Amino acid sequence: MSTVNTITEQLTRAGQAIEHDSFAIIDQEVGPHGYTPQQWPIVRRMIHANADFDFNGLTRFHPDAVRAGLQAMLRGGTPIVADVEMICVGLSKPRLAHFGMMTHQFISDADVIAQARAEDTTRAVQAMRKAQRLGLLDGAIIGIGNAPTALIELVRLIREDGVRPALVVGMPVGFVSAAESKALMAGLDSVPWIVIDGRKGGSTLVVAALHALLALAEAQQKQG
């Protein structure tokens, strides 16, 4: 009988061996770190996604981030709201289906574009506002990997409108407001978050972090 985990692992033995060997190399070369046993698999998968050991240290966790993320996944049906389609496309459909999760993004919706033009804001800002109007943000997992203005707007919605996502994975990349947006998110105690300090980030890292959380959720589920 096959031991390949078809929800959170590679689908072939060869692929599984490569992935596991990659993780072993990372564990060997990474050096010391201060992450907990539940945080480290997330950071390790982020390093694996970019071959960049800087994420050992740059990645920061709200004290309740992993627990909150796992709880949201295990309860089933939790929406994932992303700033861009790339995150939605990158997430494994079988993994999401296992927990009854669906993804949402509104960056290219006609009404979002029109409102951004009318208010002279970004599409990312209006996409977060649309998600809020649709009632998708409370209790959701939010993944932001591209647009700092989406994360800044989310922080505003948390502070001013009392929005309460289950978890924010805030990792926008860039040179304008990227570092500042993540610092704003990391300054909140009321909502769990995972962020990357500085300019580095990207949608692939959000996907990697969420896949690691999905793997941890399934492992916890199997333990009963």
pTM value > 0.95: no
Q: Tell me the mean pLDDT in the region 207-220.
A: 96
Residue 15's pLDDT band, with cuts at 50, 70 and 90, is confident
Angle of the 148-161 helix axis to the 123-133 helix axis, nearest 10: 40
For the ranges 11-25, 44-58, 102-116, the lowest mean pLDDT is seen at 11-25
48 counts as catalytic: yes
DSSP assignment of the chain: -----TTTS-SSHHHHHHHHHHHHHHHHHS------TTTHHHHHHHHHHHT-TTHHHHEEE-TTHHHHHHHHHHHS---EEESSHHHHHHS-HHHHHHTT--EE--TT-HHHHHHHHHHT--HHHHHHHHHHHTT-STT-EEEESS-HHHHHHHHHHHHHH----SEEEE---SSSSHHHHHHHHHT-SSS-EEEE-SS---HHHHHHHHHHHHHHHHHHHHH-
Q: Are 8 and 215 a contacting pair, CB within 8 Å?
A: yes
Q: Are 171 and 182 a contacting pair, CB within 8 Å?
A: yes
Give all domains of the chain, ordered by start, each with its CATH number. 59-223 (3.40.50.10230)
Q: Tell me the mean pLDDT in the region 4-19.
A: 65
Catalytic residue among 20, 33, 48, 98: 48
Tens of pLDDT, residues 83-141: 999 999 999 999 999 999 999 999 999 999 999 999 999 999 999 999 999 999 999 99
